[in-house]
Structure 1
Amino acid sequence: MEIIRSKDFTATRAWGAKDIANMNGISTRLHWTDQAYKWHINDGQEVFVILDGVVEMFYKQDGNEKSTILNVGDIFYASVGTEHVAHPIGEARILVIESEGSV
C-alpha cells in the first residue's frame, strides 16, 4: 500500500521516474520532466496522462507531423507504431502506462 502525491514528486533529471506498479508486464510510472523527450515508437501501446503541468505532444499521423496541447487530466493514447515526442511547457508530471521495458 502506498499513497503517492504526484505534485510532490520530482526527479534529479528530466524524465526521471518513480515505478508505481508492474501488473502482468504492464508498467505504471510517474515521470517528472522539464525537457522534451526524443522522437520514438513504443514496442506496444502507451497511455500518457498529464497529472501536473502542460505538455505539447508531437506525433506523426499518415506521415504528417501534428501536435496537440495536453493539460491536466488529458490523456494521450499511442497505438502500436505511433511515432511521438512530448515537449513539456515548464515542469510536468506524467503518468505513463506501457509494456515493461518499453522506450
Structure 2
Amino acid sequence: MKQFSAQNFTAERAWGSDLLSDFGDVTVRMHWTDQPYKWHKNSGKEVFVVLDGAVDMHVREDGVERIIHLKAGQGVSVEEGDEHVAHPVGEARILVVELKDSE
C-alpha cells in the first residue's frame, strides 16, 4: 500500500510526477506544476483531475480554442486525438490516468 498527499507533493521541475500505480499499459501519476505543459494530442484516452490548486485546460475543437477552468476536485476526460494544453493557475497538483507511452 502506498499513501500519498496531494497537498504536500512537489517536484524538482514543472510536470514532475510520482508514479502511484502501473497497470501494465496504463499509469496513474500525480504531477506537480507551476508552468503550462505544451499543446499535444494523446495516443489514447486520459483522465485529468485537479487535486490541489486550479488549472485552465485549453482545448481545440474544430479549430476553435476554448478554456475550461478546473478547480480542486474537478477534471476532464480527454479522448484520443483531442488537442489540449494545461495551464496551472499558480501551483497545481494533478492526477493523470493515461496509457503508459502517452505524452
Q: What corresponds to 1:73 in structure 2?
A: 73
Aligned residue identity for 1:32: W
Q: Over the residues paired in the alignment, what is the CA RMSD in angstroms?
A: 0.7
Q: What corresponds to 2:37 in structure 1?
A: 37
Q: Deviations over 1:34-68 (max 9, x none)?
A: 00000000110000000000100000112211111
Q: Does 1:23 align with 2:23?
A: yes
* Aligned residue-pair number: 103
Q: Does 1:62 align with 2:79?
A: no
TM (norm. structure 1) is 0.97
Q: Deviations over 1:4-60 (max 9, x none)?
A: 011111000000000011113110000000000000001100000000001000001
Gaps of 5+ in 1: none
TM (norm. structure 2) is 0.97
Gaps of 5+ in 2: none
> After TM superposition, which residue ranges in structure 1, 4 or more long, deviate above 2 angstroms?
none
Aligned residue identity for 1:82: D
